């Protein structure tokens, strides 16, 4: 595969090896040259439609397609003001257009020739897809563009484009059996039992019943299959709900839009989407209810950005607003092939003898929502799994837990032990026959082939020892996990009463993974924040105003003469009546009401809704409106606001807009005011505003700086507000310079910035604003607890760097004493140098562990693209793991998944990904555990995740309490299950030394089977469901206890083999004691000799009581269920055995037990052995437990004592002190570095706002009036 200009290489893209449906179709469109929000087309492919990695289309053998690069050459074409390489939006391609039109004039020549030899070849994929009722998009030529005919469904149907259904299920009818069996038999234990079942069917080999193993295995597989089907049916139900959503589709017969489900939407159809609705597929914007086919869309579900984006249709199609006009539209679209790039699009639309270039400005992507626009009309280009949203998704993967992986490896070792035991026993049998053959004549083995007997004995002993691996374990574990998932869903502490949304566990097999998470990868928008901006406070002329004054925060004058604290709005209204202060306050809010790019939309009830490309802008304008400066009208060259205090409207003539960009960090507007003066209004980051203040007359700088520190310490987003009166002579002198810069073709942006510098000077500081990007409830405390628990948190967001840093500060991910390592470079070489310099500094300075905890990495999307290259990812990962927190900004959904997969591949750590948007799905599925938040961005993430919660704060209890419990419970249940089986079945091995290695069982075969089914099945289940090593209250109080689980204290290789060896030890003690007790056999009254099965029953009873006693020793919490499971299980054995021994022989089962009851229960030796032997076995365990707790205690042992004796600690007092210290450090840090956030598109705003005239409306047919 050839390489392209992607920020990350194809080697990395191939890591997304489970891309949904078309795994090989990793797009080759260039992310390195992403189109900006103004719609510039970028890329360097020789053919703009050629995507070497995508093969979705047909060959058109009769059409010689002209290379379109010569007509869409972005490398040389000058950009117009909208960033479009076609300087004139009405431009039609040159003479090549005539050639292309001549060659594709006949629609039939565009269709595949199904009569040609190539077309008639048998294609099994096509028939298989038809059989399953699945869409089929035939792979042909990757160099040809997608051809879509307008209003011609018959022609489009020949291309067999994919339908619009989406599926996030793990299985379907065809794949369930192979995928399920692959998943189940990837567990070595199931493979082992399958092989054992086959051996048991060989006549004369098995020493037990032929069907005991295969029957149990079928039960295990059936239980697992039912659980998988139930969980997948939930996913299927969610998919059906989405696929059955309705949208309005143009019906050429009815000459109107009619409702139709998303599932039945086809490529080439025209749809109408209303305000607030999501786009059902990838659409080309034709027209809208706004002038010049403008519309606002929200893409938070795609790229995580909260700000609205403006899309604009082509002027040639903007008049197509009525159904009749749209039905008469004839032509075709040449489109790029489906790919995953969210920011690029290239194509052309041909109609009415004109060919118009298409760019990302016209692309409305599935997953985005229409906002603040009555309606839009769009042409369906990509559907279903070919949409860019689904191209960024990955198929639901098969996930295995860390505990399962350890068990798999240890089972291999147990296989080795089993084979060794079988070889020893088989070899012993041969040696015994060879040495003592004369004494064994009654066996008639004189002519037996010793080699054949040896291998036959291996199989016999394989079956006899096979239960060293407990087959019942996997049924028990499935039941435990299912019930743990049920308890998680039933927990009212993680239930959202307001939304009536419980926590949902969609993949119960991963519950114990929640207890060992080391890295969390989190989206920001909608996950940590609410997508809601609120205007909180104003600093005006050195005085702070807020609606409701916080407790103990009333305004007072400090020792330095600076006023601190707040005034309420009533005091502000009084100050408005004063002369100097009133003028400043009036000017402050006038600036907020006029200097912006917001569009007012009057609702039916007379209220105004503000359409803002930036949530900050909307909050500022709404804040001004709330205090009486109500922005009402926008025209191309003016804005109008109403001063409700005076009942007057003011019109400000808009002369120029000096747009915000990430370099300028400010926005300015030049207005001609009602008093005839020309004023410059400017707002931006404090650093850039302070640099441009006048050296005289600014009396509020020191006070404003103090207020900014207080705002920033509260995690608020701040902007400084300044103004200046410009003389008409100065403006007329400056205007030609600005106009010339705006039309230059060389280095336009820099020259416009230079022109702005000439006018943005000598400013007068009015004050500052404070906006709260409202966090989800409990986010700061949750992140603080998770970090205390030893979990490192990485934020992967589509937001800008400043926004992400501010949110990181407010949610305590980034603390006041942290040192930020910033990587924000424009090339791979610069990124490499930046990372190497940081690594060198960190290694050479020998940074202490304490200083390491103060490091945080911030990297932007472009640098991240380079950092993910194979030759740089080691540097990136090394820096990242050193840091306590990592923030990745402006990242695409695919990059999110690549980051997660890189850490997953390189680090032996468990990863959790959490998000709430469709852009987070690939990241969620790439992690070991994926959690979706059912939030404002839809349910796509929640449907695709392993768990779903309604608020981020619930993650704390989900991990620290339920995760720790689940991990400890599952660990104890698994370890105990292995132990109890080894304790019993190793007795079979020791017994081989007494029975000439004949393969004779010491216990009756059905009793052996029921050992795991009845007699000891309850303890591991009860431990796995109800045990608590520490209560929820103390786990929440001491998050550091989670580190015990992270370190694998409850389950690791050492612990596993400790339990195995203990099982060997107990089996040896039981066997040796029973041999000495029953040595001479004279154990019955009257001098009778007990038979073999009486001895075996005594051994079995002693082993059962020993195993149950071990369960009692490891149980931390005794409940009524524990009493039923442990003492109750032993009582059940004692009561059930007489029934079994009586009824069994009558129905020709367990003939060995005929008449055995009196010789067992009537024997004092039996009862003495049952009491003494378990005590001798468990004495070592009791002493070991005492030694560990007294001399080598774990952290949780101390907390268990605190919990048991209710010991008080001083944590609340320490916490209060830490908060006070944090506040002091935060203020100190903010004095050195204050962040700001101004989430607005970098350019293009001036042109767009001048297209709006809110005094004009469209009628029902879309005509302006």
What is the layout of strands, in order, in the sheet containing 666-672?
543-546, 529-540, 764-775, 717-726, 678-684, 666-672, 648-658, 638-643, 629-635
CA distance 815 to 859: 17
Closest to 607 measured CA to CA, from 584, 639, 630: 630
- Per-residue model confidence (pLDDT) at position 1211: 54
Contact 268, 330 (CB under 8 A): no
Residue 353: predicted pLDDT: 87
Please give the distance of CA 703 from its chain centroid, rounded to a whole number: 44
Q: What is the mean pLDDT of residues 501-507?
A: 86
The pLDDT assigned to 303 comes to 62
List the one residue out of 138, 64, 57, 100 whose CA is nearest residue 337: 57
Q: CA-to-CA distance for 650 and 591, rounded, in angstroms?
A: 12
Least confident of 128-132, 171-175, 207-211, 587-591: 128-132
Q: Which of 744-758, 886-900, 949-963 has the highest mean pLDDT?
A: 949-963
Which residues lie closer than 8 Å to 28 by C-beta, 6 or more apart? 4, 6, 45, 51, 52, 53, 54, 339
- Residue 607: predicted pLDDT: 84
pLDDT (0 to 100) of residue 529: 77
pLDDT over 70 at 39, yes or no: no
pLDDT in tens, 1220-1232: 555 555 444 444 4
Tokens representing 1242 are: 């970098």
Question: Helices (H), strands (E): how many in the chain?
Answer: 44, 35
Beta-strand ranges (E) seen in 558-647 are 563-564, 599-602, 608-611, 629-635, 638-643
pLDDT band at 1245 (very low <50, low <70, confident <90, very high): low
Question: Looking at residues 827-844, what average pLDDT do you find?
Answer: 89
For the chain, percent of residues with pLDDT exceeding 90: 33
Confidence of residue 1167 (pLDDT cuts 50, 70, 90): very high
pLDDT digits (tens, 9 = 90+) for 967-999: 999 999 999 999 999 999 899 889 888 887 787
Examine the pLDDT at 482 and tell me if it is beyond 80.
Answer: yes
Rg (CA), the chain: 37
**pLDDT above 60 for 557:** yes
Beta-bridge partner residues of 858? 822, 887
Evaluated on CA atoms 579, 581, 585, 587, the torsion sign reads positive
pLDDT band (50, 70, 90) for residue 119: very low
Query: Which pLDDT score is estimated for 974?
Result: 92
Model-wide pTM > 0.75? no
500's CB contacts (< 8 A; 6+ apart) are none
pLDDT for residue 1218: 53
CA distance 713 to 711: 5
**pLDDT, tens digit (0-9, with 9 covering 90-100), for 772-806:** 877 888 888 999 899 999 999 999 887 777 777 87
Give the pLDDT score at 1034: 92
Would you say 823 and 859 are in contact if contact means Cβ atoms under 8 Å apart? yes
Q: Please, where are the H alpha helices in 139-207?
A: 153-157, 176-185, 188-200
Q: What pLDDT digit, counting tens, does each position of 55-92 carry? A: 333 333 333 333 333 333 333 333 333 333 333 333 33
* 328 pLDDT more than 80: yes
Lowest mean pLDDT among 209-213, 665-669, 729-733, 1028-1032: 209-213
* Segment 489-514 mean pLDDT: 87
Specify the DSSP class assigned to residue 438: G
Least confident of 399-403, 538-542, 665-669, 1090-1094: 399-403
Report the mean per-residue pLDDT for the chain.
80
Looking at residue 1264, its pLDDT comes to: 52
User: Within its chain, how far is the Cα of 494 from the centroid?
Assistant: 19
Other beta carbons within 10 angstroms of residue 858's beta carbon come to: 22
Positions marked catalytic: 523
**Which pLDDT does position 222 carry in this prediction?**
87
- Give pLDDT, residue 854: 82
Question: Which region among 172-176, 371-375, 464-468, 688-692 has the lowest average model confidence (pLDDT)?
Answer: 464-468
* pLDDT bucket at 456, cuts 50 / 70 / 90: confident
């Amino acid at each position: 595969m050839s390489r392209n200009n992607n920020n990350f290489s194809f080697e990395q893209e191939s890591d997304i090896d489970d891309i949904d449906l078309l795994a090989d179709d990793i797009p080759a469109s260039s992310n390195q040259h992403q189109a900006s929000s103004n719609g510039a087309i970028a890329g360097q492919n020789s053919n703009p439609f050629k995507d070497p990695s995508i093969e979705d289309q047909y060959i058109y053998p009769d059409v010689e397609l002209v290379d379109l690069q010569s007509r869409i050459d972005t490398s040389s074409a000058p950009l117009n003001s909208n960033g479009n390489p076609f300087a004139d939006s009405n431009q039609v391609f040159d003479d090549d257009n005539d050639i292309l039109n001549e060659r594709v004039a006949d629609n039939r020549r565009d269709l595949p020739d199904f009569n040609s030899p190539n077309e008639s070849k048998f294609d099994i994929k096509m028939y298989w897809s038809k059989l399953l009722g699945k869409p089929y998009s035939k792979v042909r030529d990757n160099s040809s563009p997608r051809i879509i005919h307008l209003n011609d469904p018959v022609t489009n149907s020949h291309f067999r484009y994919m339908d619009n259904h989406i599926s996030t299920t793990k299985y379907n009818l065809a794949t369930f059996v192979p995928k399920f069996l692959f998943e189940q038999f990837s567990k070595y234990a199931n493979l082992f039992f399958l092989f054992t079942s086959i051996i048991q069917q060989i006549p004369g080999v098995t020493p037990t019943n032929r069907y005991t193993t295969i029957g149990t295995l079928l039960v295990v597989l059936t239980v697992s299959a039912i659980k998988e089907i139930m969980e997948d049916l939930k996913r299927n139900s969610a998919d059906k709900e989405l696929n059955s959503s309705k949208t309005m589709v143009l019906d050429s017969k009815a000459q109107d839009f009619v409702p139709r489900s998303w599932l039945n939407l086809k490529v080439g159809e025209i749809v109408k989407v209303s305000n607030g609705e999501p786009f059902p597929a990838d659409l080309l914007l034709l027209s809208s209810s706004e002038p010049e086919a403008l519309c606002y869309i929200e893409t938070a579900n795609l790229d995580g950005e909260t700000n609205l984006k403006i899309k604009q249709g082509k002027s040639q199609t903007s008049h197509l607003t009525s159904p009749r006009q749209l039905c008469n539209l004839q032509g075709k679209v040449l489109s790029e092939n489906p790919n995953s790039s969210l920011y690029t699009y290239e194509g052309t639309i041909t109609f009415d003898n004109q060919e118009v270039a298409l760019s990302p400005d016209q692309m409305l992507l599935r997953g985005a929502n229409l906002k603040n626009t009555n309606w839009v009309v769009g042409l369906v280009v990509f559907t279903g799994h070919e949409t860019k949203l689904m191209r960024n998704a990955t198929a639901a993967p098969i996930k295995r837990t860390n505990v399962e992986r350890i068990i798999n490896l240890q089972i291999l070792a147990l296989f080795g032990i089993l084979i060794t035991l079988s070889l020893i026993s088989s070899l012993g049998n041969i040696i015994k026959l060879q040495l003592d053959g004369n004494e064994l004549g009654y066996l008639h083995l004189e002519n037996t082939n010793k080699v054949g007997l040896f291998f036959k004995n291996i199989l016999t002993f394989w079956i006899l020892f096979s239960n060293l691996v407990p087959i019942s374990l996997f049924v028990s574990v499935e039941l435990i996990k299912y019930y743990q998932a049920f308890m998680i869903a039933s927990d009212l502490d993680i239930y959202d009463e307001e939304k009536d949304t419980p926590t949902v566990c969609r993949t119960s097999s991963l519950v114990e993974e929640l207890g060992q998470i080391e890295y969390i990868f989190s989206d920001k928008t909608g996950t940590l924040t609410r997508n809601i901006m609120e205007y909180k406070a104003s600093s005006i002329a050195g005085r702070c105003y807020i609606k409701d004054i916080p407790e103990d925060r009333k305004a007072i004058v400090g020792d330095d003469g600076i006023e601190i604290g707040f005034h309420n709005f009533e005091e502000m209204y009084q100050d408005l009546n004063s002369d100097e202060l009133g003028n400043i306050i009036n000017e402050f809010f006038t600036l907020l009401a006029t200097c912006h790019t917001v569009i007012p939309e009057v609702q039916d009830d007379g209220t105004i809704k503000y359409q803002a490309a930036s949530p900050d802008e909307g909050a500022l304008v709404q804040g001004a409106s709330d205090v009486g400066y109500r922005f009402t009208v926008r025209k191309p060259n003016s804005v109008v606001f109403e001063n409700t205090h005076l009942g007057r409207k003011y019109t400000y003539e808009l002369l120029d807009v000096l747009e915000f960009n990430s370099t300028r960090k400010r926005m300015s507007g030049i207005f001609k005011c009602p008093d005839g003066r020309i004023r410059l209004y400017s707002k931006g980051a404090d650093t850039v505003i302070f640099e441009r203040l006048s050296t005289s007359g600014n009396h509020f700088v020191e006070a404003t700086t103090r207020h900014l520190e207080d705002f920033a310490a509260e995690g608020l987003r701040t902007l400084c507000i300044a103004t200046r009166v410009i003389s008409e002579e100065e403006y007329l002198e400056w205007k030609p310079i600005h106009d010339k810069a705006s039309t230059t073709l060389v280095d336009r942006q820099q020259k416009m910035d230079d022109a702005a510098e000439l006018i943005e000077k000598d400013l007068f500081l009015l004050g500052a604003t404070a906006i709260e990007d409202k966090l989800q409830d409990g986010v700061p405390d949750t992140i603080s607890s998770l970090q205390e628990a030893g979990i490192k948190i990485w934020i992967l967001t589509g937001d800008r760097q400043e926004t992400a840093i501010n949110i990181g500060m407010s949610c305590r991910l980034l603390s006041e004493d942290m040192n930020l390592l910033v990587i924000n470079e424009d090339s791979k070489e610069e990124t490499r140098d930046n990372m190497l310099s940081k690594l060198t500094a960190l290694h050479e300075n020998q940074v202490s562990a304490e200083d390491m905890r103060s490091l945080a990495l911030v990297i932007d999307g472009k640098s991240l693209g380079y950092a993910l290259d194979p030759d740089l990812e080691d540097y990136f990962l090394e820096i990242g793991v050193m840091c306590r927190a990592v923030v990745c900004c402006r990242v695409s959904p695919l990059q999110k998944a690549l980051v997660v997969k890189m850490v997953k591949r390189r680090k032996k750590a468990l990863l959790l990904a959490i998000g709430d948007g469709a852009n987070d799905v690939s990241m969620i599925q790439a992690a070991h555990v994926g959690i979706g938040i059912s939030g404002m961005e839809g349910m796509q993430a929640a449907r695709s995740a392993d768990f779903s919660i309604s608020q981020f704060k619930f993650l704390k209890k989900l991990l620290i309490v339920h995760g720790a419990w689940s991990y400890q419970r599952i660990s104890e249940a698994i370890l105990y299950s292995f132990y109890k089986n080894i304790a019993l079945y190793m007795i079979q091995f020791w017994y081989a030394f007494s029975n000439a290695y004949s393969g004779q069982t010491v216990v009756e075969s059905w009793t052996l089977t029921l050992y795991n089914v009845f007699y000891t099945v309850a303890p591991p289940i009860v431990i796995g469901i109800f045990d608590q090593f520490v209560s929820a209250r103390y786990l929440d109080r001491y998050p550091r206890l989670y580190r015990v689980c992270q370190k694998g204290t409850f389950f690791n290789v050492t612990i596993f083999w400790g339990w195995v060896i203990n099982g060997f030890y107990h089996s040896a003690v039981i066997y040796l004691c029973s041999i000495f007790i029953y040595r001479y056999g004279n154990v019955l009254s009257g001098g009778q000799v007990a038979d073999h099965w009486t001895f075996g029953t005594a051994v079995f009873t002693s082993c059962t009581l020993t195993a149950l006693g071990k369960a009692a020793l490891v149980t931390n919490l005794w409940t009524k269920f524990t009493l039923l499971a442990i003492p109750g299980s032993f009582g059940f054995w004692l009561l059930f055995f007489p029934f079994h021994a009586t009824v069994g022989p009558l129905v020709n089962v367990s003939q060995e037990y005929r008449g055995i009851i009196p010789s067992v229960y009537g024997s004092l030796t039996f009862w003495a052995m049952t009491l003494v032997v378990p005590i001798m076995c468990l004495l070592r365990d009791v002493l070991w437990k005492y030694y560990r707790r007294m001399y080598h205690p774990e952290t949780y042992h101390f907390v268990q004592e605190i919990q048991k004796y209710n010991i008080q600690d001083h944590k609340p007092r320490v916490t209060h002190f830490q908060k006070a210290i944090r506040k002091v450090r935060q203020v100190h840090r903010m004095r050195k570095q204050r962040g700001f956030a101004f989430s607005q598109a970098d350019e293009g705003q001036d042109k767009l706002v001048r297209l709006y005239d809110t005094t004009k409306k469209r009628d029902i047919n879309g005509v302006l009036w």
